[in-house]
Amino acid sequence: QIPTTLLNSVIAVCKLSDDLYSDRETGVTVRSVSTSVGAMNVIFCWFGGLPMCHGAGGLAGQHRFGARTNLSILVLGGIKLLLGLVAAAPLLALLRFFPSGILAALLAISSFELASSARSALNADPDSVRLCLLTCCFTLFYNTAVGICAGLVAAYVVTLSATVVGNEESVAEARADLRERIHSLRSRVRRNKGDEHSQSLESGLDVGSKGQETVFSVRT
């Protein structure tokens, strides 16, 4: 369950969000999504809530049927909450007779939308296509954990072998690309640490200013 949740409800959600809404800043990050999933389960389990998570399939389905902002989710959640409060028993009885064919059609449309986000990998270089197909095969015939491990191992092997195998030009290009990736990763880590540090400083300044206001009001 851990690799399935990590991939589908965290990594895939962030990647799909970047692909679908690349023209604007969504604020969807691995940290924010994973924190949201953890908070939902830690809080609502004490109230009888079932395990919950975000899902790339749900995001793809919402986008396919016209959603473009978080307002659609707020409206959908409000309607569900209202129906659950006023007509829970009749709706539950009605859902037992819900045609499975309609559900299958809706899920198929969502799956096609989700699969279409992988077209960038299939249009890339041959190594990316092979890695995509390899991960798909291991995931289908085994499980998500085996699939992601096989894909990661193969990706690392391909990346490292390209830095030592081939002609001088391709090896130099592969080494430069690897250095660029490492530099990008380090920059991202530093940026995340800097954001955390700035947030802690801002919260400290807020606390300090509130304390000064309190002292000033007491003296006054």
Count of Cβ atoms closer than 10 Å to residue 10 Cβ: 22
Q: How far is 198 from 180, CA to CA, in rounded Å? A: 26
pLDDT at res. 51 = 84
130-171 pLDDT per residue, tens:
888 888 889 889 888 888 888 889 888 888 888 888 788 888
> Which residues touch 121 (CB under 8 Å, ≥6 apart)?
128, 129, 131, 132
Tokens at 52, concatenated: 């919950």
pLDDT at res. 192 = 67
pLDDT at res. 181 = 81
Count of Cβ atoms closer than 10 Å to residue 11 Cβ: 16
Side-chain-side CA neighbours of residue 2 (13 Å) = 1
pLDDT at res. 78 = 93
Tokens at 4, concatenated: 């399935």
Greatest pairwise CA separation for the chain in angstroms: 79
pLDDT at res. 109 = 80
Which own/partner contact pairs does 180-183 have at CB distance under 8 Å and 24+ positions apart?
none
Angle between helices 56-64 and 100-116 (to 10 degrees): 100
Question: pLDDT per position in the chain (220 positions), as tens?
Answer: 777 788 888 888 888 888 888 788 878 888 888 898 899 889 988 888 888 888 887 888 788 888 888 888 899 889 989 988 888 888 888 888 888 888 888 888 877 777 776 676 666 677 778 888 888 889 889 888 888 888 889 888 888 888 888 788 888 888 888 888 888 878 877 776 665 555 555 555 554 554 544 434 444 4
Count of Cβ atoms closer than 10 Å to residue 9 Cβ: 22
Q: How far is 38 from 211, CA to CA, in rounded Å? A: 33
Instruction: Tell which residue, 112, 110, 21, has the closest CA to residue 69.
Output: 21
Instruction: Tell which residue, 11, 28, 31, 59, has the closest CA to residue 189.
Output: 31
- Asked if 40 contacts 86 with a C-beta cutoff of 8 angstroms, the reply is no
